[in-house]
Structure 1
């Protein structure tokens, strides 16, 4: 059974942090509808969702991926690089523990955001930059001792997975102007749009992705994949993408 943790948007969503882009007005009611559309897409693909209790006082709480890294039977609970986001973690930790995961916390002086972590089999790339520091990466390496944890630089975007994700065959995809070091990845393929760099693997064929990357969707079709497109425009205004809105659990 494939499961995903989700968390509904805060009424204060429009106050979310913005670091690398200019702030734009966010339509919170539209964002809620888009969130439901995202969840519906997971359900339609056969995923079961588990809702993390909301944290209405945290504008960025909907970006639940940042609260943890799951690998095997371990959930490493993040210590957010932004102080304002640290209150998001406790309820997420309780929820993933209830799903049977062993919880290991990142502690000071380490910082780690889940959005900085790209898992490819036993290789884990971790973006080191504004939100995740060297101490956090070392703690992640200790917690996931069977994995090959590889730091990579992140300076141009908020998180590593703001720049790159990966296809089912292990090819890392990214919008090259925003990727600090494409050579850090064994196989890299450029996509034509920023939002095209973000995919959630629903299975070996279907890719959940944003409606704002139609040319990238065409590329994926040519590679034999089936895009499942959702509109997440309001979350993109807050540097969010399709990966940010869930924590995918397997088995």
Structure 2
């Protein structure tokens, strides 16, 4: 049963998800993908439905993107764009296998009437951008090193008029920011220091002295690939130590099982784009 922690106040969120009915591992573009290990699509859909239902039970609004044949990674809806205050900065994928997803995300956002800014630089949406509305008046954290290119950070800053802090990812297992760091409320984060360069670790320590730190095992279990409403933290059930740290900090961990999505190198957050409109 989902419960709401009384020590922290959740904020209703609006999310975009895409069913994994066409999900498969047909190529390898990150260290987690193994084409010799087939996806159990029926189980993937069952696990994804449980995730979607969890978000609804927690009081959040869920929009759905229609999966397309030939695009097996569309289930990872977070990568298609990054949205702040009704403005959408579109994705421009690094790998050609995922490039067509960008147009489908753009069509969705434009159909809603939101302002859409096409990317000139390589970036993978919320995979490498995190927004904290209550940190320093509104702060964007941006990852680079494997997928999103550093010039995209400047492009995002111009798009949103918000300060962007660049963070250098150095461990290929944490190829996106959202597998190494997550917003746990509107002003604080959880992260794994080892995923970042020494300089970026210093920046994070200065910006977030009260951050929740994940150890290597929980980070490798995709524990940081989480979604939080400021009170309830939906995360991979295998990240037990991180769940304990979050609980001690006053949050309510809500574990889910997404073993099939992990075969593609993602978990909870990879499946969810936040629509901040």
TM-score in same-fold range (> 0.5): yes
Say whether 1:69 aligns with 2:82: yes
1:92, distance to aligned residue in structure 2 (A): 1.4
Deviations 1:24-75 (A, max 9, x none): 4432221111111111111111112111121221111110110000011201
Name the counterpart of 1:55.
68
Counterparts of 1:243 and 1:47, CA distance in 2: 15
Aligned partner of residue 20 in structure 1, secondary structure? coil
On the 8 A contact 1:10/1:57 being kept in 2, the answer is no
Deviations 1:172-203 (A, max 9, x none): 212333333322221143123113323211x3
Structure 2 residues not aligned, in runs of 5+: 1-11
Aligned partner of residue 15 in structure 1, secondary structure? coil
- 2:224 aligns with one of 174, 190, 197: 197
Say whether 1:173 aligns with 2:229: no
Task: Give the structure, 1 or 2, with the largest relative contact order (CA under 8 Å, sep 6 or more).
Answer: 2
Say whether 1:79 aligns with 2:79: no
Structure 1 residues not aligned, in runs of 5+: none
1:208, distance to aligned residue in structure 2 (A): 1.0
Deviations 1:52-111 (A, max 9, x none): 12122111111011000001120111101112111112121121223332110102xx10
- 2:201 aligns with one of 164, 182, 190: 182
On the 8 A contact 1:131/1:158 being kept in 2, the answer is yes
1:234, distance to aligned residue in structure 2 (A): 1.1
Relative distance call for 1:241 and 1:183 in structure 2 (3 A) is farther
Aligned partner of residue 266 in structure 2, secondary structure? coil
Aligned residues: 247
Name the counterpart of 2:9.
none
Counterparts of 1:28 and 1:53, CA distance in 2: 16
Name the counterpart of 1:238.
264
Counterparts of 1:131 and 1:227, CA distance in 2: 29
Aligned partner of residue 97 in structure 2, secondary structure? helix
- Normalised by the size of structure 2, how large is the TM-score? 0.83
1:204, distance to aligned residue in structure 2 (A): 2.5
- Normalised by the size of structure 1, how large is the TM-score? 0.91
1:228, distance to aligned residue in structure 2 (A): 1.4
On the 8 A contact 2:225/2:270 being kept in 1, the answer is no
